Amino acid sequence: MASSRSLTSDLQAIDALFAAGDLLPRRRRTPGQARARRLRPSEQEEIRPQRPKRILKSRLELVRVPAWTTWSWLVHGFSTRTGGVSTAYRPSQRAGELNLGFAVPDTRDNVHENRRRFLEALGCGSAGEPITLRQIHSSLIRRVGREDALRTDPWKADGIMTSEPGLLLAIQTADCIPVLVADTKKRAVAAFHAGWRGTLRRIVENGIGRMRLEFGSHPEDLVAAIGPGIGTCCYAVGEEVRSEFLSQFVYAPELFHEVSNSDPIREKYPLLFLTQRAPGHSSLGPSLHLDLMEANRRQLLDAGLPARAITVIGDCTQCQNNRYFSFRGEQGFTGRMFSVVGIHP
Ligand SMILES: [Zn+2]
């Protein structure tokens, strides 16, 4: 497979040829872009992988929802991979990384230091460790209180909520979708971990129901943020995943896209290849992609949240692998990020 550099020089060489002949290419695409097709062929669209952002590897970066900073009682933030002390996952890189999950091969000291830096950046330097979960891709949800901050053995669950000031709740991810929710009237908060299994089990939809039960929340008073996770651009899944979703959600067909990875040179100059292959027929077979962010947005809508109350950060962890840890992007050898929500004491 051609490297992107040689691909670029190939494209430049062909561009030069066209320029010499005073010809204009029919259309332009950048390497790595994929052509996508909805399941209904009449509604064709493109899924554009994200262009990686330029990032400063030494800087700790917090991703936040600007509108949420107007509530002074509310703490929230999504971590990235930059600005820490861990070197386990990219040993050749000079700048340390912000791995926030305890796991081999990183050291506990590194993770503690990373967590300290992250909490300081959040403005919660004096808060204790956030309450984390042993995440198991379930629809189990725990309401926690002060006594849970002292537990050494985390609860097995994928949703966590509290109305107690001074507690921070953290979901750990590296591709799965983190969802933060806050009740702006009752001052309660929740965080959910939604991979495909948890999404299928309606972790977020059930979570909003549980907030109504536990805190008397009204969905119209809730705000939600869907954090960085694997985008539909990168999240190829098996046919069995589609079958499972089709059995659970009437809108499931809208969550899946068939994507053919295209060759940028063929895409840009289809006439050059006309004799070899019919246009639109890629040499690679189509793969099925799932839009997990949209799936969770739909659950929030179904639970009664107004569309305007839902913020989708939209960053794809695999496309932006220099900014975020990505389990798939790094074949499972990667760190973990935090999505944190809490109530200032
Ligand atoms: Zn992507």
Rounded to 5 degrees, what are φ and ψ at 124? Answer: -125, 40
Domains in the chain: how many in total? 1
Q: Looking at the predicted structure, is the pLDDT value of residue 17 above 80?
A: no
Does 143 score more than 90 pLDDT? yes
Above 70 in pLDDT, residue 263?
Answer: no
Q: pLDDT band at 214, cuts 50/70/90?
A: very high
C-alpha 221 to ligand 1 mean position (Å)? 32
49 CA to centre of ligand 1 in angstroms: 5
Averaged pLDDT for residues 124-136:
92
SS3 sequence of the chain: CCCHHHHHHHHHHHHHHHHHCCCCCCCCCCCCCEEEEECCCCCEEEECCCCCCCCCCCCCCEECCHHHHHCCCEEEEEECCEEEEECCCCCCCCCCECCCCCCCCCCHHHHHHHHHHHHHHHCCCCCCCCECCECCCCCCEEECCHHHHHCCCCCECCEEEECCCCCEEEEEECCCEEEEEEECCCCEEEEEEECHHHHHCCHHHHHHHHHHHHHCCCHHHEEEEECCECCCCCCEECHHHHHHHHHHCCCHHHHEEEEEECCHHHHHCHHHHCCCCCCCCCCCCCEEEECHHHHHHHHHHHCCCCHHHEEECCCECCCCCCCCCCCCCCCCCCCCEEEEEEECC
- Contact between 326 and 49 (Cβ < 8 Å): no
How far, in Å, is the centroid of ligand 1 from the Cα of 92?
24
CA distance linking residue 325 with residue 264, whole number of Å: 27
CA–CA separation, 301 vs 205, rounded Å?
A: 9
Ligand 1 centre to CA of 228 (Å) is 11
Instruction: Please tell me the distance between residue 230's alpha carbon and the centre of ligand 1 in angstroms.
Output: 6
The CATH number of residue 176's host domain is 3.60.140.10
Gap from CA of 152 to ligand 1 centroid (Å) = 35
Greater confidence (27 vs 208) lies with 208
Distance between Cα 47 and ligand 1 center (Å): 9
Residues spanned by the domain of 123: 1-345
How are beta strands 222-226 and 310-312 bridged, if at all?
parallel
Are 219 and 304 within 8 A, CB to CB?
yes
Max Cα-Cα span within the chain: 75
Asked if the model's pLDDT at residue 265 lies above 80, the reply is no
Q: Which residue has the tokens 């499931």?
A: 252
Cα-to-centroid distance, 293 and ligand 1 (Å): 12
The whole-number average pLDDT for the span 121-142 is 94
Q: For residue 302, report the distance from its CA to the centre of ligand 1, in Å.
A: 26
CB 311 within 8 A of CB 63: no
**Ligand 1 mean position, distance from CA 8 (Å):** 20
Q: Which has the higher per-residue pLDDT, 23 or 234?
A: 234
Nearest CA to 339 out of 198, 105, 182 is that of 182
Distance 316 CA to ligand 1 centre (A): 5
d(CA 166, CA 180): 17
Tokens of 164: 């107690």
Residues 283-310: tens digit of each pLDDT: 557 899 999 999 999 999 999 999 999 9
pLDDT tens digits, 34-91? 444 344 443 445 677 887 777 788 899 999 999 999 999 999 999 999 999 999 999 9
Higher pLDDT, 51 or 147: 147
Is the distance from CB of 274 to CB of 310 less than 8 angstroms? no
Report the separation in Å between the CA atom of 187 and the middle of ligand 1, taken as the mean of its atom positions.
Answer: 34
The mean-pLDDT minimum among 102-106, 174-178, 251-255, 284-288 falls in 284-288
pLDDT at 48: 77
Of 107, 61, 102, which Cα lies nearest the Cα of 88?
107
Q: Is the peptide bond prior to 105 cis by the omega test (within 30 degrees of 0)?
A: yes
What confidence score (pLDDT) does residue 30 get? 41
pLDDT at residue 204, rounded to an integer: 98
Q: What is the Å distance from ligand 1's center to 330 Cα? A: 13
Average pLDDT of the segment spanning 256-262: 84
Lowest mean pLDDT among 15-29, 130-144, 157-171: 15-29
Measured in Å, residue 180 CA sits from the centre of ligand 1 at 21
CA 51 / ligand 1 centre spacing (Å): 9
How far does residue 27's CA lie from ligand 1's centre (Å)?
Answer: 22
Measured distance CA(106)–CA(292) in Å, rounded: 29
Instruction: Decide: pTM greater than 0.85.
Output: no
Q: What is the pLDDT of residue 50?
A: 80
What is the distance between the alpha carbons of residues 264 and 30, in angstroms, rounded to a whole number? 7
